[in-house]
Amino acid sequence: MSCPIVAFEDLNLIDYKKAWDYQTSLFNPIIDQKIFNRKNPDATVKTKNHLLFCEHPHVYTLGTSGKKENLLISEAILQKLNATYYKINRGGDITYHGPGQLVAYPIFDLDHFFTDIHKYLRFLEESVILTLKEYGVVGDRIEGLTGVWIDINTANPRKICALGVKSSRWVTMHGIGFNVNTDLSYFDAIVPCGIKDKSVTSLAKEIGEKVDFEDLKSKLKINLSNVFDFDYE
């Protein structure tokens, strides 16, 4: 059996709503094709897989299981911060996206890979953990929590990568927010992921210098393809 093929796009800095709409424009046709294929067993059109990389201007997003009170600032202060806010259709609580954070949106038909959403999340985490390792940083998991963490067995465990996904008929959207050169002060306006007793960090903070963003993107792109065992189109 040949490995899955994934179409990759780097959207660079893009408005959150514009990227969300674009994700949806890729996600919905995959769902429609799967429904058609199920009703028509002789259909030969295969579903597609996509991977989007991007950065967003300052934005706070609240997932379906989140609480609005985890946004700690008013609309007026949001405007002063030049930030926007959206309640969106992924899982999880509240998070921040902004310049210097690498956002990855896999829009995968998991029927091409494996139909296990927990395994999918672990594979996303593993791709980030392997990328961190290339910078001499040990990433890890905390049982019961999603994402990638630093120094989990110390008094100061720090989250470096958040995950939030949506899936329907085993098709995924949304994904990874990986703090690379992120301005972490923007996290002061929220209770990140609704977790009150843990802090956030960035790769730049951990290694003490600004990260070559393009180089990091290249590393994560390779690690995702290796962990999930796919080829790029």
Q: Looking at residue 94, which CATH number applies to its domain?
A: 3.30.930.10
Q: Residue 197's domain spans which residues?
A: 5-232
The pLDDT of residue 195 is: 62
Is residue 79 classed exposed, middle or buried when 0-12, 13-18 and 19+ CB atoms within 10 A define those classes?
A: exposed
Residue-level pLDDT at 2:
82
| pLDDT score, position 196 | 65
**Beta-carbon neighbour count of residue 218 at 10 Å?**
12
Number of structural domains the chain divides into: 1
How far is Cα 148 from Cα 150, in angstroms, rounded to an integer?
A: 7
Annotated catalytic, 193? yes
- Per-residue pLDDT, 180: 98
Q: Nearest Cα to 224, choosing from 120, 152, 135?
A: 120
What pLDDT sits at residue 6?
98
State the number of CA atoms in the 13 A half-sphere of 21 facing the CB. 5
Catalytic residue among 3, 54, 161, 193: 193
Q: What is the DSSP string of 134-176?
A: TTT--EE--TT--SEEE-TTSS--EEEEEEEEEEETTEEEEEE
Helices 213-228 and 117-133 pack at an angle, to 10 degrees, of 140
What local confidence, expressed as pLDDT, does residue 45 receive? 87
Residues in a beta bridge with 173: 166
Q: Which among 90, 85, 97 has a CA at the least distance from the CA of 65?
A: 90
pLDDT along the chain (233 residues), means of 10: 92 98 98 94 90 98 88 91 92 92 98 97 98 98 94 94 95 98 94 73 98 98 98 96
Neighbouring residues of 82: CB distance < 8 A, sequence distance ≥ 6: 57, 58
